[in-house]
Structure 1
Amino acid sequence: MIRFVFRFLGLWILAAAFIFLIYDGTKSIAAGVVLIKPFGETWNDIHAGSLQALQPLMERHSPWLWDPAMLSVLGAPTWLVLGVIGMILVLLGRKKKPLIGYARR
């Protein structure tokens, strides 16, 4: 059951990544230059309070986790971050390969 949930969420997140890829592409074509919306800006547009609450929490537990790690994720394109998260969830939810031969025991 949990595999189904991982696959389901992963596919929805991959669909959202594709939508953001198309969004960035159409904005880039219309402007004539490459425009990429960072993940931090998208998160801030959706729910700014949670992003602002996450920073002190992460800095309190491990300061290195916020400055190099999380800031690089927040600066990455939205479609890339969502695509990686979606692929990880789909891979976690995939069905196990059937065992054959002596490996069944």
Structure 2
Amino acid sequence: MIRFLFRFLGFWLMAGAFVALVVDGTRSIAATDIVFTSAARTWFSLSPGTLELAQAKVIALSPVAWTAVVNPLLNLPLFFLLGLVGVICLAIGRVPARSPFEAT
């Protein structure tokens, strides 16, 4: 059951990464320059209050964690971040290969 949830989440994240890649590609074609939308910009446009709340909580725990870990991750292109997390979820939820010598 847990594997199914990881695979389900992984496929949705990969679909989101593909949509973000198409949006960035469309914007790049329209601007005749390479345009990437960062995860922070997308998060801020969807819900600025939660981004500020998350930033305040992480900085309260450790200011170094925000500047060294979270901020660089949020500055990655959205399609890359979603794809990376999606691949990790799919790897966690993968069904192990059956051995040809295993009794069924």
- Structure 1 residue 64 corresponds to structure 2 residue 51: no
Give 1:23's aligned residue.
Answer: 23
User: How many residues are matched?
Assistant: 103
State how 1:1-105 maps to structure 2 within 5 Å.
1-98=1-98
Question: CA-atom RMSD, angstroms?
Answer: 1.8
The one-letter amino acid paired with 2:90 is: V
- Runs of 4+, deviation exceeding 6 Å: none
Q: Give the whole-Å Cα distance in 1 for the aligned partners of 2:61 and 2:72.
A: 18
**Unaligned ranges ≥5, structure 1:** none
CA offsets, 1:26-75, max 9 Å, x none?
11011111111111000111111111101121112122210121111111
- Percentage identity across aligned positions? 37
Cα distance between partner residues in 1 of 2:61 and 2:99 = 43
More helix by share: 1
CA distance in 1, matches of 2:75, 2:61: 22
Q: TM-score, normalised by structure 1?
A: 0.89
Q: CA shift at 1:100, angstroms?
A: 6.7
Per-residue deviation, 1:95: 1.1
Unpaired stretches in structure 2, ≥5 consecutive residues: none
Match of 1:85, SS state, is helix
Q: CA deviation at 1:84?
A: 0.4
